[in-house]
Amino acid sequence: MALDILFDMETSDPDDALTLCLLATHPAVTLRAVTVTPGTLAQVGMVRHLLARAGRSDIPVGARNPAAEKESLSAFHTKWLGPLPPAAPDALAHEVLALALGRFPEATLVTGAPLQNLRLLLEHHPDLHLRRWVAQGGFAGDNVVPPEHRLPKFEGRRTCPTFNFNGDPKGALLALSSDRVGRRELVSKNVTHGLAYDGAFHERMRPYASATPGLALIFEAMERYLAQRPEGKLLHDPIAACAAIDPGIVTWAEVEMVRERGEWGAELAQGTRTFISVALDPERFFRTFVGIDAATN
């Protein structure tokens, strides 16, 4: 049975758009709703464009603040897709999420953005329960990550700033402590900084580029991206999405999250229902990314 997923995203980095394409047509997933922060009309227009190209115009799109005027699309989105017409959301983001959870109470929420929309969901819908939340965010340091899995760039650290959690610390602290969130799985930067979509990944992707409309869009986007940046793109949100689909791509540790002077860390703990990534299986990630095992099940 396909996994019901809700996806909360932003557009300052291309990896959110790649994740949207991945989830829209992944054989193991039924994407039920998309929410955007801040949710400008330009952002919603881009999201609707990608959903239409993926054959999923039926998916409701929510925005936190559709009246926002700040430019929120990265330059890459415009270079890739060209100018796109703005579009209105179906409703405010927290309303779209609440409606989707009412229809699909077992759905998993995947967040690849600062957590305003999750915070507003919890604040405005006090009777709502979220069974599972998979976030791209957080950090696990040397006190949690075994030596063989530590990335050199984070060696010696116990805490680190993280974009999504620092984008709304109040929302992060609420979601991490709420008893209305059943299980929390944090796909953290100590893991996501270890894998890039580079030229070698692109060539490995090539045989699967037409397997789904979403993979075709990803391949198209990265063909353009790699022409300008051959070092590749870190796959923060796609790794989180694939961990939602197959938690076994990641090694997890149960922890209590801590925030110190604007940085985030983790302490080993029991009974928190909060799990953070300490290692990634790159081969299993790739198979999940292209849907090999889902297509053969």
DSSP for residue 117: H
Say if residues 52 and 87 touch (Cβ distance below 8 Å): no
What is the tens place of the pLDDT at every residue in 229-286?
999 999 999 999 999 999 999 999 999 999 999 999 999 999 999 999 999 999 999 9
Domain that residue 32 falls in: 3-296
The pLDDT-based confidence of 295 (bands split at 50, 70, 90) is low
Q: What is the CATH number of the domain that holds 72?
A: 3.90.245.10
Q: What is the mean pLDDT of residues 59-65?
A: 98
Which position has the token pair 């060696």? 155
pTM across the whole model = 0.97
- DSSP assignment of 28-43 equals TEEEEEEEESS--HHH
Dump pLDDT digits (tens) for 180-234: 999 999 999 999 999 999 999 999 999 999 999 999 999 999 999 999 999 999 9
Number of domains in the chain: 1
What's the pLDDT at 83?
92
Residue range 82-100: mean pLDDT, rounded: 98
- Identify whether the C-beta of residue 57 lies closer than 8 Å to the C-beta of residue 275: no
Rounded to whole angstroms, the Cα distance separating 82 from 20 reads 18
Token duo for residue 239: 């790794």
